[in-house]
Chains A and B, each alone.
Chain A
Amino acid sequence: MQNNETIVNIIRFLVLVLIQVLVLNHINFLGHINPYLYPLFILVFPLTGNKTLLIFLSFFLGLSIDIFGDSGGVHAAACVFIAWIRPVVLKYSFGVSYQLNTLKISKAPLLKQLVYIISMVLFHHLILFSLEIFNVSHILLILKSTLFSGIFSVVLIVCTILLFSKKEA
């Protein structure tokens, strides 16, 4: 059971990284907008999993994307941030009940799912673009990129979750 979960997670990790760097980073919608699918790994990581392990894994996830994209560490920083802040977001989107084993993300009410996904993605993109642009006077550009990439990423993540939950059912 444990092994199964670990293997599933490893496969998820690798597949997400590969899809991101091989496919999604080259979309450049309207010139510069790219969706980011790999935060999905952090979003659907088992809710009862080890938090410390999650932070480590998200660091390596972001670092892999960075290595392929030559961006230095922005993805790693953003992923580490949302991995650390995940418990807080879970608490305010699903209520305190997330700590019980009974909650599965794909089975929760749609609104709560959306709140969770949108919050995590927005935090991630905000940190990502702030570090990338690194200039407070360009705050409008940061917010614009966050919003547009965020919408694109959220749409993609929701579709993927729907796809995979249907398969289980």
Chain B
Amino acid sequence: MQRIILFFVQNRNFLLFVLLFAVSFALTVNTHSFHQSKVVSSANFLSGGIFGLKTSITDYFDLRTQNELLSEENKTLRTLLSNGGQLSSNGVSDSLPLDTNYRFISARVINNTYSKTKNNLTLNRGTSDSVKTDMGVLSPQGIVGMVNSVSKNYASVQSVLNTNSQIPAKFKKSNHFGTLIWNAKDPNVVQLIEVPRIAPVAIGDTIVTDAKSTIFPPGIRVGTVQNFDRKEGDDYYQIDVLLFTDMTSVKHVYLVTQRDASEIRELEKIVEDAEQ
């Protein structure tokens, strides 16, 4: 106690100076609003900077939960989008999307290949999550493929980078449609064939999924036209489409199923059989 008082007495001038300087500084800042805003903003700069640093560290511990939350949210939003702004198709506000045309299931990719000619992905959802074959698989940026086999807890997806894959797609601007295939050359580029020569094709055109496909909802973005070619005398264009999805790093996907898909397929099968 003695030493504290001694310290104050010995440095009284300096302490008095600091005190009075602080008082006059406070008076100055309070008088001029410019000074006030500068002081408040530098206080914000300091505290904001330190908080920003802290969250950039603590955020890493939270990433898994956040990603799962975002995935769920995206699933809800996609349902809303595909069903015309309603979570349930008969207008009753229901938290369970039971009666909607398109249903989404979020999933994570646990295995992925993109360098073979027939590439498949494995997802961590299976029949116990009501995944069935022939469900479409979408990424946050575009399409990924379709489910070709399901086990109890996992599903195997035939990637769009697969020479067996044939997905109907169309031009966003003109609705001219074709089929997406892959020539096993570039994991970012698929080929759109069977586009008739009267279709207006330009580099940069967006390609989206077609309503013809019972697998994907229509209007899902697939990619942009990278270059196109039509040999003389050929009735169709050969178009290279640069995919929006980075197939080498896809992690969170959504499985989509159309409620009426089996009905449509059955109907089309009957007509095809009848015509043959």
A residues apposed to B, CB below 8 Å: 51-52, 55-56, 59, 62-63, 66, 70-74, 76-77, 80-81, 83-84, 131, 134-135
Contacts and interface: CB of A to CB of B under 8 A. Distances in A.
B34 A134 contact: yes
A59 B13 contact: no
A131 B31 CA distance: 12
Given A52-B12, A55-B20, A84-B14, A76 B38 contact: no
B13 A51 contact: yes
Contact of A77 (B16, B25, B30, B38): B25
A73 B23 contact: yes
Contacts of A51: 13
Nearest to A131: B28
Given A52-B12, A52-B16, A55-B13, A72 B21 contact: no
Contacts of A135: 38
Interface in B1-54: 12-14, 16-17, 20-21, 23-32, 34-35, 38
Given A51-B13, A55-B16, A134-B38, A81 B21 contact: yes
A62 B12 contact: no
Contact of B25 (A52, A83, A84, A131): A131
28 contacts: A51-B13, A52-B13, A52-B16, A55-B16, A55-B17, A56-B16, A59-B20, A62-B24, A63-B24, A70-B31, A71-B28, A72-B28, A72-B32, A72-B35, A73-B23, A73-B25, A73-B27, A74-B28, A76-B23, A76-B24, A77-B21, A77-B24, A77-B25, A84-B14, A84-B16, A84-B17, A131-B25, A134-B34
B17 A80 contact: yes
A17 B243 CA distance: 79
A74 B34 CA distance: 14
Contacts of B30: 72
Given A134-B38, A135-B38, A72 B16 contact: no
Contacts of B17: 55, 80-81, 83-84
Nearest to B17: A84
Interface in B54-92: none
A77 B26 CA distance: 10
A158 to B, nearest CB: 27
The listed residue with most A CB atoms (<10 A of its CB), out of B24, B26, B35, B38, is B24
Interface of B: 12-14, 16-17, 20-21, 23-32, 34-35, 38
Contacts of A70: 31
A84 B13 contact: yes
Contact of A134 (B16, B24, B26, B35): B35
A24 B264 CA distance: 94
Given A66-B24, A135-B38, 15 more contacts: A51-B13, A52-B12, A55-B13, A55-B17, A55-B20, A63-B24, A63-B27, A73-B23, A76-B23, A76-B24, A77-B28, A84-B14, A84-B17, A131-B28, A134-B35
Q: Closest 4 interchain pairs by CB?
A: A72-B31, A73-B27, A76-B24, A73-B24
Nearest to B35: A134
B67 to A, nearest CB: 43
B149 to A, nearest CB: 66
Contacts of B27: 63, 66, 72-73, 76
Contacts of A55: 13, 16-17, 20
A62 B21 CA distance: 11
B35 to A, nearest CB: 5
A31 to B, nearest CB: 20
A80 B32 CA distance: 20
A56 to B, nearest CB: 7
Contacts of B28: 71-74, 77, 131
A80 B24 contact: yes
A72 B34 CA distance: 12
